[in-house]
Amino acid sequence: MTLDVRQRTDSASIEAQWFLAMAWPSIALPRVMDATHFGPTDWFGAWRTCVLACVGLCALFGALSTYMHAFAWAAGTDATSPQFARYWLSLLVGELACVGVGTVGWWAWLVRSGRSIPASVTHSEEVYRIAVFWGLVGATSVVLYFMASFFVNADGAWHQTTVRDTAFTPPHIVMFYGAFPLGITMSVGTALYGITRLTKIYPASSGFPWSFFLLIGASVTEMMQVALNEWGHSVTITEEIFSAPFHWPFVIYAWLGVAIFALWIETLVRLLSIEKGLADLGTEG
Amino acid sequence: MYLDRKWDIVFWITAAFFVGAAADITRLLFAGDWDFWVDWKDRQWWPILTPFATIIIPSAIQYILWAVWRLPIGASYTAACLFLASWVGRVYQWQDFVNYPLTLIWPATVVPGAILMDFILLRTRSFVLTSIVGAMVWTLAFWVANYIPLAAYLQPVQFMGHVLTVADVAGIEYLRTQTPEYLRQVENGTLRSFLDQTQYVSLVFGSTVAVGGYWIGQALARFIALWPVGRGIKRL
């Protein structure tokens, strides 16, 4: 498969006109740049989203994991006990409420604010948005790690030492009802950002991007697989074998998630196109 | 201009989370039990299932990095990410959370096989040859690299009147829901009638199975990662 990473035009004058048109000023970036004094590719400029989101998510999941280590054995082995309700069911409700409210709020803000953003932007602003987009993709990658590796190991270790008496075991509450919903939050939110802010890459006329569809499909099917997992355990009680066949559909997430590379490649193609255009013109946007 | 090293730094670091997770979950779901426990690391199933499960994502990333950037490091990068993800999981969750000793739960490594497979792609510049030669080398390197840490646990020891391996004793001492002997998929069947040829028979078969795993990874890269680039769904 060959990727045309340099979008060529036959006429240099057409390209120059196109770049001048692209340089139409907008409001958003100058406001941001004036306020921060950082360029679109400075660590404290657009990359701030990446750093804050990734570090913040690692801190969140680290805190949840520390809580799990501290209270799983002390209050999480008997689902009928008052301690279980106090320490674990309250966490379950809190997670679902926070993730639900946060998700709806973030998605609504992305859609509403996206409608008021000018379609024509400077190259500097477009690069800024691509860097923010990479930050969201990176944060999605971080969430997918905690979904599919970090807490999966905790869950496997837990089931090898305790036999479940509920579908809401401590690792399940952290993983299935904390990390998994956040995977949907991040993948859909990243798609909304791309569709509303990166209209040169994801124009409405091209339809809904396959890359987003597959990545969202990965996180959604992972959440849906929880239902099959719990039903399977209730039927066969295969506590002992981790590689049991009804666990296999969990791998669909990882395989569909490979579409995350399509997001990086699509935006990189556009970045290279901007760079080439600027180099040809000998100027910056 | 806007393209600088920060893009590289962000890409390689953030991609490592997904790549490590994808490789780890694929291994856990298809060969997890053989990788969790030292007494499951046998000559019969371990050299077949684990190379198959671990080659899928390295193959996919190898294709992506070679097709898009001509970088022959995809398998090695994935192996390094898997190494980190595995050890974080084993140390923090299996050892710290439920107190299994690392001697019982150490993960196998695929780093040597990944370096060799990337080298084969670099030299041959052919995914077909890499799938055949590289996947076989992958399996052989898997056995050689992991036999070194495993050998110490295969030493005989007398335990309650029986001759067992050190690995067996570790497995018996630390109770698991997997402890009952009938659950262990270890050296069962009649393959043991081949005596000391057992591991070689398994390695040859494991090599052929790994070729299949390699092409599963190739399909993922071609149809899930690269085919969607620039394509949209006009109608749902």
ipTM: 0.93
Confidence of residue A4 (pLDDT cuts 50, 70, 90): very low
DSSP helix/strand/coil, A18: helix
Chain B partners of A202 at a C-beta cutoff of 8 Å? Answer: 232
Chain B partners of A211 at a C-beta cutoff of 8 Å? Answer: 228-229
CA–CA separation, A254 vs A217, rounded Å? Answer: 11
Q: What pLDDT sits at residue A280?
A: 86
CA–CA separation, A151 vs A157, rounded Å? Answer: 10
User: What DSSP designation does B163 have?
Assistant: E
Contact A255/B213 with Cβ under 8 angstroms? no
pLDDT average, residue stretch B206-227: 97
| Distance to chain A for B210, nearest Cα, Å | 17
- Provide the H-helix boundaries in A24-89: 28-36, 47-75, 82-84
The answer to whether A63 contacts chain B (CB < 8 Å) is no
CA–CA separation, B192 vs B197, rounded Å? Answer: 8
- Interface contact B10-A250, CB threshold 8 A: no
Contact B35/B81 with Cβ under 8 angstroms? no
Q: Tens digits of per-residue pLDDT, A76-108?
A: 999 999 999 999 999 999 999 999 999 999 999
Q: What pLDDT sits at residue A10?
A: 42
Chain A partners of B7 at a C-beta cutoff of 8 Å? Answer: 41, 134, 271
Chain A partners of B96 at a C-beta cutoff of 8 Å? Answer: 69
CB atoms under 10 Å from CB of B111, counted, come to 16
Q: pLDDT exceeding 90 applies to what percent of chain A?
A: 66
The answer to whether B12 contacts chain A (CB < 8 Å) is no
Write down how long chain B is: 236
Residue B31 has pLDDT above 50, yes or no: yes
CA–CA separation, A33 vs A10, rounded Å? Answer: 35
Contact B26/A254 with Cβ under 8 angstroms? yes
> Parallel, antiparallel, or unpaired for β A208-209 and B156-159?
unpaired
Contact B171/B104 with Cβ under 8 angstroms? yes
CA–CA separation, A46 vs A54, rounded Å? Answer: 14
CA–CA separation, A54 vs A62, rounded Å? Answer: 12
Q: Which of A187, B10, B223 is nearest to B231 (CA)?
A: B223
Residue A14 has pLDDT above 70, yes or no: no
| Distance to chain B for A156, nearest Cα, Å | 8
Beta strands in chain A (DSSP E): 208-209
| Distance to chain A for B20, nearest Cα, Å | 7
**Average pLDDT score, chain A:** 86
| Distance to chain B for A188, nearest Cα, Å | 16
Q: How far is CA A40 from CA A34, A44, A127, A128, in A?
A: 12, 9, 6, 4
User: What DSSP designation does A283 have?
Assistant: S
pTM across the whole model? 0.90
Main-chain phi, psi angles of A256, to 5 degrees = -70, -30
Confidence of residue A39 (pLDDT cuts 50, 70, 90): confident
Sign of CA dihedral A185, A191, A194, A196: negative
> Parallel, antiparallel, or unpaired for β B162-165 and B156-159?
antiparallel
Q: Which of B115, B119, B127 is nearest to B215 (CA)?
A: B127
Q: What pLDDT sits at residue B194?
A: 73
DSSP helix/strand/coil, A14: helix
